[in-house]
Amino acid sequence: MITKVLIANRGEIALRIHRACKEMGIATVAVHSEADREAMHVRLADESVCIGPNASSESYLNIPAIIAACEITGADAVHPGYGFLSENARFADIVEAHDMIFIGPSAAHIKLMGDKIAAKAAVSAAGIPVVPGSKGEVLTLEDAVKSAKKVGFPLLVKAAAGGGGRGMRLAQKAEYLAESYNAAKQEALAAFGDGSVYLERYLGKPRHIEVQVLADTHGNVVHLGERDCSLQRRNQKILEEAPSPALTEEQRTEIGEIVRVAITKIGYRGVGTIEFLWENGEFFFIEMNTRLQVEHPVTEMITDIDLVREQIRVAAGEELGYTQDDVTFSGHSIECRINAEHARTFAPSPGKVCDFHAPGGLNVRLDSALFAGYSIPPYYDSLIGKLIVHGKSRKGALMRLRRALGEIVITGVETTIPLFVDLIDDPEFQEGDYDIHWLERWLEAQAEN
Ligand code: ADP
C-alpha cells in the first residue's frame, strides 16, 4: 500500500503525478527549489518542502535533501518523474534503503540500461534487433579503426553513458574516424565522467519509433503500442504521435510482441520505453529509457490507460490484472511540446506570463503548470506545457490540433506554438511523410523564405 508519494520533480510532470495520486486517494508531497516557491505543483500538493537553492544541482538533484523531505513528511514512496534523478540507480537504491518504495524499475535495471553497451547486449540476447556496430566498447583508436572496417561508413561514435545527444559523433569516412573518436570520448568524459564509446552504423533516413511497455512484479508484461517521435531538432523531440503513420498493423503487432517477450525475459518492472530507429521496414534498437517519458500522454490517449496510475500500482506490488489481449488501441493522438523559446531561433525566453488561456473541448488535453502571472525561471528545462489531442483518425487529430492551437493564449514570453501552427499546414507533415532529419530541413527552408 502506498499512502503518501513524494514527487521529486517540478513543472508539468510534477502536476501530472499529483493528479494520478489524487485520483487514487494518495496524499502528495511537493519538493521545490527557492525559485519554485510559488509554482503550481507546490500550491496543489498536500504538503511541500523547500529542498534548496535555484540550481538543480543543489535542489532537484540533491539526494540528501530529498530523503530528508521524505522523512520529515512520512512519505512512503517517491516518484522521480522524468529527467533529474529518474534514471539515477544510486537514488533508487537510497530510496529503498530508507524503506520507501521507488516508483520505477529496480536499481539494477536502471544501471543496466544506463550503460548503452550493456543495454544493447542484454536486449539483443533477449531477441530485440539492434543497430549493427562494434562488439561492445572500442578501447583504443586502433580498435576503432579495426572495428570500423566491419561496421562500414558512415558511422557514429557513441558514448556508453550518453544521453541528450551528447557524446555522439558522426564519421562520414575513414579519414574522419580519429577526430570523431577523440571528440566523442572527450565529450563523454566531460559530460558523464565516463569516456567509454562504441561504434554504430549510421542510418541515413530513419524514423524514431519507440515501444511503450508496462510490467508488474508477477511476470505480467504488456506493450502499449508505439509512438513516432521522428520530428526532432538537434536530437530533441518536438512533436510525437501514436500510432506511427509509417507502420502497418502487422509491423506494429510483430515489434510489440518481440518487445513484450524480451522485457518478460529481462524481468523488468514498471514502465519503460524501447527506442528504435526504423528504416526500410526494419527496426534497430538504440536505447531503453527506464522511466516515464515526456510523450507518454499520446499512448494514454489511444489506450485509455493511465500510465502513472499503473506505475504506482505495480510499484506497490499489485498485479496488472489484464493481458495483452485486453489492451486495445483507438484513434490517433498527437502531442506538441510547448517550450518557452522563440519559435524560429529557439532562444530561451524565461520571464513572466501575462495572459494564459488553455484550450478545451472534447479530446483536448493540456499538461502544464502555467498560470497567468507565473514567472518562468531561467534555471530549468524550457518545456512549459504539452498540448495533446485525440481524434478518431490522424486527419481528425490534425483538425483538432489546429483548432486547439488557435485557442491557446500565452503572452509575455515567446513560445514554440507558432512553429506548430505553420507545421500543421505542411503537406508532407500532413501525409506523415517524415524522417528524423525532416524537421531540420523544414526549418532551414522556412528560414530562407
Ligand atoms: P541520446 O541518449 O543521447 O538521446 P540516442 O541513442 O537515443 O541518444 O539517439 C538520439 C538520436 O540520435 C536518435 O533519436 C536519432 O535521431 C540519432 N541517432 C542515434 N543513433 C543513430 C544511428 N545509429 N544512426 C542515425 N541516427 C542515430
Q: Which domains occur in the chain, in start order?
A: 4-103 (3.40.50.20), 132-201 (3.30.1490.20), 207-448 (3.30.470.20)
pLDDT in tens, 346-402: 999 999 999 999 999 999 999 999 999 999 999 999 999 999 999 999 999 999 999
Single-letter residue type at 139: L
Question: E strands along 164-260, which residues?
Answer: 166-171, 197-201, 207-215, 221-233, 236-242
Answer whether 292 contacts ligand 1 (Cβ < 6 A): no
Q: What is the pLDDT of residue 449?
A: 79
**Kind of pairing, strands 27-33 and 47-52?**
parallel
Residue nearest to atom 17 of ligand 1 (CA): 235
Count of beta carbons in the 10 Å neighbourhood of residue 376:
23
Cell 506523415 -> residue = 432
Q: How far is the CA of 386 from the centre of ligand 1 (A)?
A: 23
C-alpha cell recorded at residue 201? 552504423
Q: Is 164 left (phi over 0), alpha (psi -120 to 50) or beta?
A: left
Answer whether 369 contacts ligand 1 (Cβ < 6 A): no
C-alpha cell recorded at residue 333? 493522438
Question: E strands along 72-196, which residues?
Answer: 77-79, 101-102, 155-163, 166-171
Q: Which of 199, 210, 277 to mutate to test the pocket of ligand 1 (most atoms within 8 A of CB)?
A: 277
Answer whether 287 contacts ligand 1 (Cβ < 6 A): yes
In the chain, which residues have pLDDT < 70? none
The rounded distance, in Å, linking the Cα atoms of 28 and 42 is 10
For residue 436, the ligand 1 atom closest to its alpha carbon is 16
Is-catalytic flag, 10? no
